[in-house]
Each structure stands twice: as C-alpha cells, then as structure tokens.
C-alpha cells in the first residue's frame, strides 16, 4: 500500500455563499465519504485550512497577503489515504463531495512511500 | 418554590439521571484509560448549566442543553489533545475525530439516543466484569454511573472516603491496564454476564433496603438507583431477560413495604406488626406485572422464587392469612437451586408458622454448616423465637442475647432487646 494525499482546491466562494444548514448537510456528505474510507482502513488523517493566506516569496524577504495562485487553485485542506496505485487513489478521490461545490482534488503520492 | 431551588432540584434530578449516561458516552469517546477526563467533562457541563441557568433561566430542554454542552466540551478537548498521546486516536472509532472534516459529525454520532443507551449498558457490564470485586463494582457504579459523590458512596457503605477513593482508583487501573472496551456481551454470554450485573444491582438494593443506616435519604437513593439500573436493562431488547424482570419484580415488592418496616424513630417493625394499609399498592401491582413478564422461556432463577415469595407476602390480607404452604414450596425450590444454609434457615421460619415450633426445631437441627450459622445473628434470633414458643424461656433469652452480640445494627439490637424484655416481664 502506498500513501496518497488529496489536496482540495478552490470552492471557497461557493462555500461562503451557502447557508449554515447547507454547509452542515455538505459536511455530513464529507463524513460519509471519509467514513467509508476509514471503514476500509484506507483513511489516514487530514486537516482543513482557513482561507487567509500569507505568501513568503522566493528569496525570503518579500511577503504578500494573498496567495501565489488563483482562488480556484487555493488549497483548502488535505487528507491522506492508503491505496495500491495512483489510479485507485484517483477513483477514491472521485467520491469527494467538494467536487459538487466547485472544488477540485489533486491526487499526489506521498514521498517516499512506506515500503 | 423559589426559582433557585427549582433549578437546584432540576439539576440534582438531571445529574442523577444523566451524568452516568454522559460519562458512558465520554468514556467511549476518550477510551477507558481516560475515565477521569470523562468525569471532568460531565462535572464541567453541570457547573456550566448551574451558572448559565441561574442567570438566563432554565432552557426548554435541559437534558438536550446538557448533552450539547458536554459534546462541545468534548470537541474542545479532542482539538486540544489531538497531538498528545492521552487519547488513542489509532482506534478506528476515533480516527474520524482527528480531522475537522469529520470531527463535528462524528461527535454527533456518538451522542445519538440509541448509542447513549447502549454505551450506558455497556459500561454497566464493564463495571461488573468478573475480575473486579463486587465491592469495587458497586462503588464504581454508584460513583460513575449513578452520579454519587465520593462522600455519598462512603456514606452508603458506612466507610471512610479514602477507602472509596482507593476502590475507585483500583477499578480505574484495571480498566486502564487491561484496555477494557465496554460492550454489551454477545448472546452466548449475555446470561452469565447479566447475572453478575443483577447481583451487583441486588446488592446495592439490599444495602439500601436492609441497611443499618440512620440516613434515610441515602437508603432511598440506593433503592431507587438500583431499580433505575435494572429498568435500563429492561429498556433494551438485548438485555430483556426473564431474570431481569424477576429481579425488578422482587425489588418492587420489597420497596412497596419499605416504609412500613421502620418507625419514624428508626425502630424496626417486623412483618406481623406492619401496617399493611401503608404498603404501596401501585408498586405491588407493578411487581405483579414484572413477575408475569419474567415467566417466559425456561429460566427459573432465585429472583423468580424470591419474587414469588414476596408476592405472597404482599398480597396476603394479614400475617395470619399468609399462604405459608405456597411459600414453603418456593423455599423448597430455592434450596433445589442452591443449598444455601441461610435459605434453609429462613425456611424454618415458614415451618414455624405452618407446623409449629417442634417441627421448626427439627428442621433447624438438620441444616448443614452449623459453624457458619452459629456466627449469624438470624440463626440465634430464630432459635430464640422457636424456644420462646416452646416456652423454654431461658434458652430463648440466651439465643436472643447471642443474636444481639452478632449484629451491628442498632434497630435490630433494639428489636431483640424488646423480645427479651417481653419474656422477662
């Protein structure tokens, strides 16, 4: 088994535009999705990130209050999971509820793998 | 009632009813290695309730308020301790607590009504594990599941508070070291495990019912908590066993008579002299219902027979009218299940009523284990009674005096003194 990280990007605007009830219902879907992976012992852990960003630019002196990247590229959180191949991990990522709220999921293998 | 008193009463009532359930859920969340943490959260939630309600008044649903508060406090603790080793997050049930994506909803899941009830029962079975001494079982149940303070537990057992703290510590260590995971036992072992739970409940009940305490409040508390625990077993389909109904029935019959056994001054009143009109007819009716429900399957336990005996006493219009014949049959069945010298001894009292003192004396001579009985006050009290009826008054007085030496209970001593006085005058 290899470890993969799902990076959730974008979708903050959609989140902000929803009501608390809608947000709660949405988080219930996240719970279902992650819960299923946990039941199969494929879920490792993860964190959610606040949208505020400070970027330290190359060289280390210049700091800006916004992201280096566009809003739809902004990482909003990550989880790590176990899978045999990046293809399997990608199939798992397709269940992410954020995809319905204009987030994208970037699937990356964690380096180095735990052989 | 003053608003403050009203809040205090509601809190006290809620505390007894809900703190054990909250502790059980929180132990599931934090693990049995963190029982103190669970108890602290409940304590905190109750303090918050008291402070908030004092100013803003009672919420519409105080129970839900309390649960929500405990839940939020648990979330705070999980967030704080996420990177410490206090809580074992490698457990699959706890993994989803570690991420904000799933924390709130996982937490909600832990507090679903059905889970709360199951966790509470699971904790009861865990407390009554055969490796834990019965004394420690009851101490822990009273403290953690019934919301007693250490002081109240100490009062219940007429023991020092340190002794209780030590007992609690030992039980917690047992849970910690053995990584006990509370669970309702599987059907194949539910019978034996339930029998341990029932015997703890019955012991707790008897502590209240027979106890020598002057403190009426503690006694009533013990009785009502024992009945409440038994009722919780009856509320779950997994644990509705015939013997559970039987014990519930037995406790109802006993409780129906509890107030008639003692005068306001704390003196004992024996069955022949009890005022039967003060017996609680509602509890007798309930006891009868439970006894009917206990009669399914082919299980016949000592609780069934003791309940059947108590039923005969409760429904007899007078002491004289008691159906001693029927009661004797139940005693014979009891001895068939367990040849207990104490039961044999009580059977002799029935023989005394039914066939007179000669036969009772014969029967008492036939009981084995006289050495054990010789140290038991009731043995001498009964011999005193038999010899009194045989008009062998000197022997009767000797036995009553021996009985007085053997009991610690003031009311029992007084009762025996009166019998001696009756003979001597």
pLDDT of residue B307: 97
Summarize the confidence of residues B231-252 as an average pLDDT: 96
pLDDT over threshold 50, residue B376: yes
Flag the least confident range among B7-21, B137-151, B195-209.
B7-21
pLDDT of residue B217: 76
More confident residue, B298 or B401: B401
Q: Which residues pair with B145 in a beta bridge?
A: none
Do A38 and B96 count as a contact with CB atoms less than 8 A apart?
yes
A97-109 confidence digits (pLDDT tens):
999 999 999 999 9
The tokens for B279 are 């017996």
Question: In a 3-state reduction of DSSP, which class is residue B36?
Answer: helix
Average pLDDT, chain B: 91
Q: What is the b/e burial string over B228-264, where b = at least 16 CB atoms within 10 angstroms of the residue's CB?
A: ebbebbbeeeebebbbbbbbbbbbbbbbbbbebbeee
> Where residue B278 falls among pLDDT bands split at 50, 70, 90?
very high
Summarize the confidence of residues B368-385 as an average pLDDT: 87
Flag the least confident range among B35-39, B87-91, B194-198.
B87-91
Pairing of strands A104-109, A75-83: unpaired
B282-326 confidence digits (pLDDT tens):
999 999 999 999 998 888 999 999 999 999 999 999 999 999 999
Contact predicate A63/A54, CB 8 Å: yes
Chain A interface, best mutation among B88, B104, B105, by max A CB count within 10 A: B105
pLDDT of residue A97: 97
B136-159 confidence digits (pLDDT tens):
999 999 999 998 889 988 888 888
Among chain A residues, CA nearest to B106? A31
Query: Of B335, B312, B336, whose CA–CA distance to B325 is shortest?
Result: B312
Side-chain-side CA neighbours of residue A16 (13 Å):
7
Query: Of B367, B374, B320, whose CA–CA distance to B347 is shortest?
Result: B367
Do B99 and A47 count as a contact with CB atoms less than 8 A apart?
yes
Contact predicate B36/B172, CB 8 Å: yes
> What percentage of chain B has pLDDT greater than the value 90?
71
pLDDT of residue B214: 64
pLDDT over threshold 90, residue B221: no
Q: Cα separations (Å) of B291 from A36, B33, B201, B244, B255? A: 46, 40, 17, 10, 15
Do A43 and B95 count as a contact with CB atoms less than 8 A apart?
yes
Query: Of B71, B75, B224, whose CA–CA distance to B147 is shortest?
Result: B224
Question: In a 3-state reduction of DSSP, which class is residue B287?
Answer: helix
Q: Cα(B132)–Cα(B119) distance, rounded to whole angstroms?
A: 19
A43 contacts in B (CB within 8 Å)? 95-96
Side-chain-side CA neighbours of residue B96 (13 Å):
27
A43 and B CB contact within 8 Å = yes
With left for phi above 0 and alpha for psi between -120 and 50, is residue B267 left, alpha or beta? beta
Segment 73-112 of chain B within 8 Å of chain A by CB: 92, 95-96, 98-102, 104-106
pLDDT of residue A114: 55
H or E element at residue B236: none
B95 contacts in A (CB within 8 Å)? 38, 43, 45
Contact predicate A31/A97, CB 8 Å: no
Q: Give, rounded to a whole angstrom, the gap between the first and last alpha carbons of chain B.
A: 52
B113-128 confidence digits (pLDDT tens):
999 999 999 999 999 9
pLDDT of residue A70: 81
Summarize the confidence of residues B87-91 as an average pLDDT: 88
pLDDT of residue B209: 86
pLDDT of residue B1: 46
pLDDT of residue A68: 72
pLDDT of residue B386: 95
User: Which residues of chain A fall short of a pLDDT of 50?
Assistant: none
Place of tokens 């990076």: A7
B316-352 confidence digits (pLDDT tens):
999 999 999 999 999 999 999 988 888 999 999 999 9
pLDDT of residue B340: 87
Q: What is the DSSP string of chain A?
A: -EEEEEEEE--HHHHHHS-HHHHHHHHHHHHHHHHHHHHTT-EEEEEE--S---EEPTTS--EESS-SS-GGG-EEEEEEEEESSHHHHHHHHTT-GGGGGT-EEEEEE-SS---
């Amino acid at each position: 088994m290899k470890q993969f990280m799902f990076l959730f990007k974008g979708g903050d605007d959609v989140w902000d535009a929803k009501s608390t009830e809608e947000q709660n219902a949405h988080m219930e879907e996240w719970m279902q999705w992650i819960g299923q992976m946990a039941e199969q012992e494929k879920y490792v852990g993860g964190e959610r990130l606040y949208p505020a960003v400070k970027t330290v630019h190359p060289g280390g002196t210049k700091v800006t209050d916004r992201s280096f990247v566009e809003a739809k590229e902004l990482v909003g959180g990550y989880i790590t999971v176990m899978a045999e191949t990046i293809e399997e991990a990608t199939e798992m990522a397709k269940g992410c509820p954020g995809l319905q709220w204009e987030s994208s999921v970037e699937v990356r293998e964690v380096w180095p793998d735990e052989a | 009632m003053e608003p403050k008193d009203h809040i205090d009463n509601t809190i006290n009532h809620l505390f007894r009813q809900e703190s054990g359930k909250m502790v059980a859920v929180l132990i599931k969340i934090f693990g049995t290695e963190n029982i103190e943490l669970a108890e602290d959260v409940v304590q905190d939630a109750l303090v918050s309730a008291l402070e908030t309600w004092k100013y803003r008044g009672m919420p519409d649903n105080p129970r839900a308020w309390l649960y929500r508060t405990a839940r939020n406090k648990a979330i705070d603790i999980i967030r704080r301790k996420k990177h410490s080793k206090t809580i074992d997050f490698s457990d699959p049930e706890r993994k989803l607590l570690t991420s904000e994506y799933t924390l709130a909803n996982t937490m909600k899941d832990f507090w679903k009504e059905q889970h709360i009830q199951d966790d509470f029962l699971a904790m009861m079975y865990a407390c009554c594990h055969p490796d834990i001494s019965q004394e420690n079982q009851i101490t822990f149940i009273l403290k953690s599941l019934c919301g007693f303070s250490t002081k109240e537990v100490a009062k219940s057992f007429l023991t020092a508070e340190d002794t209780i703290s030590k007992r609690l510590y030992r039980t917690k260590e047992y849970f910690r070291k053995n990584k006990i995971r509370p669970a309702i036992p599987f059907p194949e072992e539910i019978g034996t495990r339930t029998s341990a739970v029932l015997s703890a409940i019955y012991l707790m009940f008897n502590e209240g019912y027979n106890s020598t305490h002057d403190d009426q409040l503690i006694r009533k508390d013990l009785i009502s908590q024992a009945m409440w625990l038994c009722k919780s077993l009856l509320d779950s389909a997994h644990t509705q066993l015939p013997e559970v109904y039987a014990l519930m029935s037995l406790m109802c019959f006993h409780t129906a008579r509890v107030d008639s056994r003692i005068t306001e001054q704390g003196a004992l009143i024996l069955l022949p002299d009890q005022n039967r009109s003060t017996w609680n007819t509602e509890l007798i009716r309930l006891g009868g219902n439970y006894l009917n429900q206990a009669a399914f399957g082919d299980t016949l336990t000592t609780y069934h027979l003791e309940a059947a005996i108590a039923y005969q006493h409760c429904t007899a219009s007078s002491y004289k009218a008691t159906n001693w014949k029927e009661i004797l049959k139940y005693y014979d069945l009891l001895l068939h299940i367990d040849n207990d010298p104490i039961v044999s001894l009580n059977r002799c009292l029935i023989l005394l009523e039914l066939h007179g003192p000669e036969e009772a004396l014969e029967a008492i001579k036939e009981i084995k284990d006289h050495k054990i009985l010789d140290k038991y006050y009731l043995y001498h009290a009964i011999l005193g009674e038999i010899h009194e009826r045989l008009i062998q008054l000197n022997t009767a007085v000797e036995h009553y005096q021996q009985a007085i030496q053997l009991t610690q209970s003031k009311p029992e001593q007084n009762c025996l003194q009166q019998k001696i006085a009756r003979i001597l005058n």
